[in-house]
Amino acid sequence: MAGQGLYDGPQPTEEHHKERLKTYFDPLPFYYPPLEQQRTDAKEYPFFAVNQRPMFMYHSWDSQNAWLRQIMSQNYLYMHRSKGEALGIKDFGWAWVESHNGRIRAQVKLMEGVNPETVWTWNAIAKQQGTWGLSDDANESQQGFLMNHLINELLPGEAEADGHRMTNSDPITGQAAWYDLRVKITPVGADETDLAEQNLTWPRFDKVKPLPNFTPASKVSSYSSHPNINISRGWRDIFSRGAK
């Protein structure tokens, strides 16, 4: 009603905001293509790309948990096997993932348990080198990647009538468009093996300088209620224990 001028309270003053209200703030549910996808060429970018944080490592700071890092310290781009093989991408091979906003290089894991038109990955795994107390060669900064580089805060295309570009978010809730992304995927070429041979993702960023008086984390984590006792016994003693 505010978009139609039938509301006594606050009302938008710009026409494109009025149209946005009238179009999407409908009391009855209806389907419409996400705003970003309305402005993206589906033929050029044929895959839907989504990401989700793993339940056992929901926040970035969980990378400081040594036990959780044993479960996962690197994320892959999961892709349907038939689609990957049709594009010439091998299992654990490297590929370029490109959207209208940017591109990344990631390692691909082929699988059957995913929609053929969709690729996905775990979020909140990749870290910049020098952060979170991780070592310089940690998997998170060497093989981990984020889809953030593929998603723009603003919708693609030209500016609106007033010269401003619209935010790339849900028109009702304002939620960022993390699940509206479309991408194209191409295998890393034979002449692009520099980073792939080093098992490195792209883009790469400079190492973050440590804070003053920073103490590197221990490479071994051990917690117990009392000092550990290291017992050294030979095999003869172990197998003959109790024998007369």
- Please report which confidence band the pLDDT of residue 242 belongs to, taking 50, 70 and 90 as the band edges: low
**In CATH, what number is assigned to the domain containing residue 92?**
2.40.40.20
pLDDT tens-digit readout, 26-84: 888 899 999 999 999 999 999 999 998 888 777 666 777 778 888 888 999 999 999 99
Residues 12 and 124 in one domain: no
Residues 52 and 28 in one domain: no
pLDDT tens-digit readout, 139-177: 999 999 999 999 999 888 766 656 678 889 888 888 888
Residues 135 and 25 in one domain: no
170: in domain? yes
pLDDT tens-digit readout, 80-110: 999 999 999 999 999 999 999 999 999 999 9
174: in domain? yes
108: in domain? yes
Residues 107 and 13 in one domain: no
Residues 91 and 160 in one domain: yes
- For residue 185, the model assigns a pLDDT of 98
3-state SS record for the chain = CCCCCCCCCCCCCCHHHHHHHHHHCCCCCCCCCCHHHHCCCCCCCCEEEEEECCHHHCCHHHHHCHHHHHHCCCCCEEEEHHHHHHCCCCCCCEEEEECCCCEEEEEEEEECCCCCCEEEEECCCCCCCCCCCCCCCCHHHHCCCCHHHHCCCECCCCCCCCCCCCECECCCCCCECCCCCEEEEEECCCCCHHHHHCCCCECCCCCCCCCCCCCCCCCCCCCCCCCCCCCCCCHHHHHHCCCC
214: in domain? no
Residues 177 and 59 in one domain: yes
Residues 69 and 94 in one domain: yes
pTM score of the predicted model? 0.82
Residues 130 and 162 in one domain: yes
Residues 102 and 191 in one domain: yes
Domain count, the chain: 2
Residue 101 lies in domain: 33-197
